[in-house]
Structure 1
Amino acid sequence: HYHQLKPSSRGRPEYRTQMGFPHPWPGGWWRLRDVVEQQKTSAIAMLTAASRFRETLLRNMYLKATHSLEKGVKEAPYAFVVKPEQHDELTAYKLLKTLMDMGVEVQRSQREFTADGVTYPRGTHVVFASQPCRPYIVSLLKRTFYHVGPWSKKPDGTPLTPYDLATYTIPEFMGVRLQEVEKPFEGTFEAVPSLRFPRGDIATNAPNGWLLDVALNDGYAAVNRLLRRGIEVRRLTAPTTVGGKMYAPGSWHIVGEDARDELEKMSRRYHLVFDAAPGGGLAERPTRALKIGIYQRYFGGNTDEGWTRWLLEQYRFPYKTVMDKDVKRGKLADKYDVLIFPADAKAMITGEGVEEYYEKRWQGIMTPPKHPVEYRSGIGKDGVEKLKEFAEAGGTILCLGESSDFAIEELKVPVKNVLADVKPIDFVCPGSTLHVNVNSGNPLAWGVQDDLLIIFRSHGAFEVKPSGHNDDYGVVLSYPDKRIMESGWLQGEERLSRKAAMVEAKVGKGRVVLYGFAPQYRAQSDAAFKLFFNALVG
């Protein structure tokens, strides 16, 4: 119906003919045939334009590439240097491989060189900005401040947030340390034709087993494989120094001579180094594979749930999908140790108030699908009670991003989301990287770098409510007093100041972990993976 057609929220306040919208849809029937015809028309139009203006297009592409090359020689940034000392060296190589897969040239120094007053050793990787894809390089690697101007706000000052993120600085997502070079420099460099990851190794003489550094994300994939094969693995609970190398709490101790063959495979597959463990008593605790379930709803599915499953598979965490009926059936503690709730609205999890949620979020642009009763999602009140029983019996519930509100409101975790009722004009943070303080003494934060950046999308920031059981609530991550944002757009910083970003709450014999962000965001936030993985290892 014509009266159901609505204007866009960005730059199109009226559903009328205008410069960028010359042919509004008048309403009426819109069938699958119309969708196909629209796609065909668009495809043929693009091919026709490319054929008709091929010389202009090719010349403009040549000029664009030439200008990028010249700009990279004449103005900053001149290059991005991958610092030799990395918290997770293998993740730094993954970043370089990603860039190379996208056509970015990476070079390696053949001699020591100095850039912006810092001296780097031979073998340091450098991404020079004088490349045809310079804009792409700069947008991905340079610290970003989202442009806030007349086109990013409504007349009343309410922010018009970007469709996706306010920054795409993947080194910040992955926890890789780069140095932006602002002055020309000289050195001897060679292009890297194909990237060689560091070579893995295993100590030959290891009567007391082997140690593996917890800083490496890929160590979790290796440990999951070892546990599945019945090999004994323990975790250090105190720092240990071996041969001048310090192993932080959470590092892995693999025990038993029968593990050698598997470790040799893991060292080759994941480029891991297994050092000989020292003799004598190590402060450690046993590790076991946990039974993991991940909640999946109907109503068209949940993108965050799909990314979470994909990440679990990449790091070899075995899991089972848990549907509404499984939750309602109860006896969850007999089947699972951990239940994961990906980022989702409370209404979409419980199945209650879905219409109101759609109206509040989409303001009439979208309505919930009219599914048959048997395909309507929601765990209902019965499911909520079964989850409480699961936690009371010793289970762990992980609530990622928006699903933390479900835990607060339905599972009655005594924590307040200080952003729950804040208006957009007072606070906005649409996909930005933020600094957090890490409580490294909490096992959930084992292996996480101190200067951690998280990807935040206005999900939640927490305060623990006063009670007689304050020791039941641990703050794993918290925001600093000020200068919280690294890249993106943050308006209303004071509302995050000193608030918690991640809370571990004891519930009976179990616990509920609230993540006010997505530690596994699109499987791109490598720096925060361990905050998620540590909850999945017994």
Structure 2
Amino acid sequence: MFKVFRLAAIFLLMVQTSGWSQTLPSPKEHFGFNIGDDYQLATYTQTEAYFKKLATSDRTKMVDIGLTEEGRHQFMLIVSSPENIKKLDRYKEISQKLARAEGLTEEQARAMSMEGKAIVWIDGGLHATETVGTHQLIETAWQLVSRKDPETLRILDNVVILMTHANPDGQEIVSNWYMREPKPEKRSLENLPRLYQKYVGHDNNRDFFIMNMKESQNIGRQLFVEWIPQIMYNHHQRGPAGSVLAGPPYRDPFNYVFDPLMITGIDALGAAMINRLNAENKPGFTRLGGSVFSTWYNGGLRTTTHFHNMIGLLTEIIGNPTPETVPLVPQRLIPNGNTPFPVTPQKWHFKQSIDYSLSLNYATLDYAARHRDELLYNIYKMGKNSIDRGTSDYWTLSPKRAEAITQAYQADLRKAKPDSAGRTGAAASESASGNPRGGGIPVKYFDAVLKDPQLRDPRGFIIPASQTDMATAVKFVNALIKTGIQIQQATAEFTVAGKKYPAGSYVVKTDQAFRPHVIDMFEPQDHPNDFPYPGGPPIRPYDAAGWTLAYQMNVQFDRILDAFDGPFKKLPYGELQSPTGHLDPASGAGYVLNARANNAFIAVNDLLKSGVEVYRLPSGVTGKANVESGSFFIPSSAKAKTALEKSSKDLGLDVISIAKRPAGALVKVSPMRIALWDTYGGSMPSGWVRWVMEQYHFPISLIYAQDIDAGDLRKKYDVIVFVTRAIPGLGNAGVGSRGEGEGFQGREPKAEELPAEYRPWLGKITADKSIPQLKKFLEAGGNVVTIGSSTNLAYHLGLPVKNALIEMTNSGQERPLPAEKYYIPGSILRVTLDSTQQATWGMPTQTDVYFDASPVFKLAPDAIAKGTVKPLAWFSTNKPLRSGWAWGQTYLQDGVAAFMAPVGSGKLFAFGPEITFRAQAQGTFKLLFNQLYTNSVAQ
């Protein structure tokens, strides 16, 4: 009897601890519906509860990876076999060591590849309105935890799966919005009142090389510091019309810093995915030129992994909890290499997209299980290749290098003399240089360009600790650290290439596994001139064409060509840095903060809030080279000293003491009542600025079109900020749509369709109602700051400025320059500034700006003389491109990029470039910050 009882107890214990599906609820049992049922969405609250139930299985481990911007817990569910779950630390260690490839021999790498398990990341829900993503994650987790078929068991034995929810806040917002309608057939994802990520909405997938958002930081730590998976799979929507989904491989161009193994790795996974769908009779997968997606851009959740030697996968699938129809697109019906198995028009249900996604996940996991050791070894091999390239003379191939070869060859052809046979031009040059039969250019031209010592890739970069805005430089260093880059710091003064650097300087060498990302953050991107045919319109990049973060943040660094060393210590991976400041010990008249430092504005805002007086110095301080025009002066007081001691320590600011009050007039600084435009549905540029304002302690209020139309603005505000796409265009003069600015895209909902709390957000900026109120605001002494296309306000106000990027047609009509002549997608350009103006205080005389088809102005001949317009920034050369793609950039020369114009008693500030772009363009933040104080002359 005792023996029977003991056996029963053992059996009961096995049931409780084995993770058998009988002890776990199915999605239907938990949510009350099957995942993929029409008209049904799960909230994040429900999903979190379900994942916690799945986490009781011995096939899982649930990890809290951090809090979201709205304070929710963000979870990663790790799934593998029970035996692997017990050894996760070891498999993580193997993955890290192979990915970083530091000090491993070939034999050690091979052995670790055989011992380790493939690490595969699968996420969902980053873009919360793309509801397939979150729900396929739920269904896949259930299938992996509950199934016992041979394929699933093989996957669990050979793969560690990191299932990560990418946007908990967004799922809660979107699902609650959809499910609020009690009648299923009336449910809709349309008319979402606000961004589904607290600040940036869809742009949460453009944050992954700087990681400003908390969700990005949580995810980035797992991807680039902790686990470094060999494969990451990023689920999105939606597929091109007439297809079911777009997936790998992707169209050209790919970024030239990539290891070829990464690109061919994507090809291999893409083949596995499409093969599985074809075998399961699931048509509609398009790839390559069948979609717009490429591997050029850095900064996306998927794309940043490419710069870390990971096989980053993206699929964009159709599907919606409300059934839809696959539309008829005749050209998509023809099988070709892009779409071998076209889908035909049909009604499409949510469950079909879930089933496709499950098949795609299993295809990826099955490939990983079958090629486990190969994947582990290949990420080591790519890392080793990067280390080798960083320790030798290496030249990255790129379009400008290829063009340099062609130009050198053609120059020789033009000046070639007749040879002994009397041949001239090309024939003589080719004869003399031994041009190979069958075409091509003599190899000597390759050697002349791609073996030029001055054109080779650097061995590293040095960020001097002596720069005027070291705190921002540390933010840049932290962006690198968050993406898993190895950073070194000097423990003492050192000299490289004849230049002395102080202790505390940061060193980033290129002999590391994630070299592609290092190069990409410091070096300019060289996007090809991408046209479908000569003379045709440009092919738009998937996102930005150039983004070099060191340029955007105005970080001063030296590019070191030759091998170098010094008193450097390696910082632990993932360990963020804090800037160090200094406060002069004694003060006579007061203290000075250099306006070059972005963090100085945080200190000033804190001082003003506490009641301390702050002034600006129009001419700096004589004899103090580091006290430039616009620097802040704080009269000495106990309260000021206490506050500045804290700012110096927390913000990394150098606070200078001065014995005498500066001579001449001072400008007293007072806080402004700041309004920031936003709209129903949310503006991403506005959200980014709101986040920036919070970080720099500027108090703001949001303002909507209805608030502006109601008038009396001057009673409430001192300055109104309009980000891009707020102000409508005005004929050929303007940039952007005519007639109305950005509001809700598509059919704007009627007020009665919405909860009362959202109705005040409706409306758009219009020429007939809004512009007259803004003019009254300006005339009454208010200031308006416009960015990007919202500089259209200058045309509405009749200021003496014109669009510089127009031409005259044969019929005598003005029109914008056609894209065949002029095209600049998101890229970095250099402008010249008048840094003596209050609006540009703290800026250098030249700076890099983020330019995205941005407006450029031409001033009326007498505008400057009459004082009706003051140029703040302009293009002083015909080649301002620094990073990206600028077709026809010569049209920019002498064009005005930014100006100030008095309107009545107020001022309009117009900044054509995106001076706050995605909170990355920190080198131009001051162009906004300077306009957010009331300045009055004081003795």
1: CA distance, partners of 2:542 / 2:643: 46
2: CA distance, partners of 1:144 / 1:126: 21
Aligned pair partner of 1:390 in 752, 755, 777: 777
| 1:460 shift after superposition | 0.9
Counterpart code for 2:462? V
Taking structure 1 as reference, are residues 426 and 268 closer, same or farther at Cα in structure 2, changes over 3 Å only? same
2: CA distance, partners of 1:146 / 1:4: 27
Counterpart code for 1:372? P
Aligned pair partner of 1:290 in 659, 672, 695: 672
User: What's the secondary structure of 2:670's corresponding residue?
Assistant: coil
Unaligned runs of 5+ in 1: 350-354, 362-366
| 1:238 shift after superposition | 1.2
* 1:125 corresponds to: 506
Q: Does 1:341 align with 2:341?
A: no
Q: Point out the more displaced range, 459-468 or 65-74.
A: 459-468
Counterpart code for 2:830? H
Taking structure 1 as reference, are residues 409 and 210 closer, same or farther at Cα in structure 2, changes over 3 Å only? same
Q: Quote the RMSD (CA, aligned, Å).
A: 3.0
Cα deviation, 1:44-82, whole Å, max 9, x if unaligned, reads: 433333223222211111111111111211223211122
User: What's the secondary structure of 2:595's corresponding residue?
Assistant: coil
Q: Does 1:482 align with 2:878?
A: yes
* 1:61 corresponds to: 379
* 1:352 corresponds to: none
Question: Within 5 A, what are the aligned runs for 1:363-442?
Answer: 368-374=745-751, 377-380=763-766, 381-405=768-792, 407-419=793-805, 421-442=816-837
Taking structure 1 as reference, are residues 197 and 321 closer, same or farther at Cα in structure 2, changes over 3 Å only? same
Aligned pair partner of 1:257 in 638, 641, 652: 638
Q: Does 1:519 align with 2:915?
A: yes
* 1:15 corresponds to: 332
- Matched-pair identity in %: 29
| 1:419 shift after superposition | 2.6
Taking structure 1 as reference, are residues 288 and 35 closer, same or farther at Cα in structure 2, changes over 3 Å only? farther
Aligned pair partner of 2:628 in 237, 248, 251: 248
Counterpart code for 1:289? P
Aligned pair partner of 1:319 in 655, 680, 700: 700
TM-score with structure 2 setting the length: 0.52
| 1:236 shift after superposition | 0.9
Cα deviation, 1:115-171, whole Å, max 9, x if unaligned, reads: 4554545543211101010111112212332222xx544454311131111123111
1: CA distance, partners of 2:502 / 2:469: 18
2: CA distance, partners of 1:384 / 1:239: 38
Q: How many residues align?
A: 520
Aligned pair partner of 1:135 in 496, 516, 524: 516
* 1:458 corresponds to: 853
2: CA distance, partners of 1:285 / 1:382: 36
Unaligned runs of 5+ in 2: 1-239, 253-288, 292-330, 394-456, 731-735, 752-758, 807-815, 935-939
2: CA distance, partners of 1:313 / 1:485: 32
| Alpha carbons 2:727, 2:765 under 8 Å: kept | no
| 1:111 shift after superposition | 5.8
Counterpart code for 1:464? L
2: CA distance, partners of 1:4 / 1:339: 40
2: CA distance, partners of 1:391 / 1:505: 11
Counterpart code for 1:248? E
1: CA distance, partners of 2:348 / 2:679: 28
1: CA distance, partners of 2:892 / 2:569: 45
Q: Does 1:45 align with 2:363?
A: yes
| 1:490 shift after superposition | 1.1
Question: Within 5 A, what are the aligned runs for 1:84-233?
Answer: 84-110=465-491, 114-116=495-497, 118-148=499-529, 151-154=530-533, 156-193=535-572, 194=575, 196-233=577-614
| 1:401 shift after superposition | 0.7
| 1:329 shift after superposition | 0.8
2: CA distance, partners of 1:508 / 1:518: 26
Counterpart code for 2:666? E
| 1:181 shift after superposition | 2.1
User: What's the secondary structure of 1:452's corresponding residue?
Assistant: strand
Q: Point out the more displaced range, 114-123 or 225-234.
A: 114-123
| 1:422 shift after superposition | 1.5
2: CA distance, partners of 1:389 / 1:465: 24
| Alpha carbons 2:590, 2:661 under 8 Å: kept | no
| 1:404 shift after superposition | 1.3
2: CA distance, partners of 1:44 / 1:357: 48
Taking structure 1 as reference, are residues 209 and 85 closer, same or farther at Cα in structure 2, changes over 3 Å only? closer
1: CA distance, partners of 2:725 / 2:668: 34
Taking structure 1 as reference, are residues 294 and 39 closer, same or farther at Cα in structure 2, changes over 3 Å only? farther
Taking structure 1 as reference, are residues 182 and 199 closer, same or farther at Cα in structure 2, changes over 3 Å only? closer
2: CA distance, partners of 1:209 / 1:490: 47
Higher relative contact order (CA closer than 8 Å, sequence separation 6+): 1
| Alpha carbons 1:87, 1:449 under 8 Å: kept | no
| 1:18 shift after superposition | 2.6
User: What's the secondary structure of 1:74's corresponding residue?
Assistant: coil
1: CA distance, partners of 2:748 / 2:503: 62
| 1:370 shift after superposition | 2.1
Counterpart code for 2:518? I
* 1:448 corresponds to: 843
2: CA distance, partners of 1:115 / 1:205: 35
TM-score with structure 1 setting the length: 0.89
| Alpha carbons 2:706, 2:763 under 8 Å: kept | no
2: CA distance, partners of 1:23 / 1:409: 51
| Higher Rg of the two aligned structures | 2
| Alpha carbons 1:348, 1:377 under 8 Å: kept | no
Taking structure 1 as reference, are residues 322 and 186 closer, same or farther at Cα in structure 2, changes over 3 Å only? closer
| 1:472 shift after superposition | 2.0
Taking structure 1 as reference, are residues 112 and 379 closer, same or farther at Cα in structure 2, changes over 3 Å only? closer
| 1:470 shift after superposition | 3.1
| 1:424 shift after superposition | 1.0
User: What's the secondary structure of 2:709's corresponding residue?
Assistant: helix
| Alpha carbons 2:491, 2:568 under 8 Å: kept | yes
| Alpha carbons 1:266, 1:272 under 8 Å: kept | yes
Taking structure 1 as reference, are residues 29 and 507 closer, same or farther at Cα in structure 2, changes over 3 Å only? farther
Q: Does 1:267 align with 2:642?
A: no
Counterpart code for 1:389? K
Counterpart code for 2:817? V
Cα deviation, 1:209-239, whole Å, max 9, x if unaligned, reads: 2111111100101111111122111111112
Cα deviation, 1:250-307, whole Å, max 9, x if unaligned, reads: 1111233332222222222212232223324533111000011111122x43211111
2: CA distance, partners of 1:303 / 1:211: 36
User: What's the secondary structure of 1:293's corresponding residue?
Assistant: strand
| 1:31 shift after superposition | 4.8
1: CA distance, partners of 2:794 / 2:670: 29
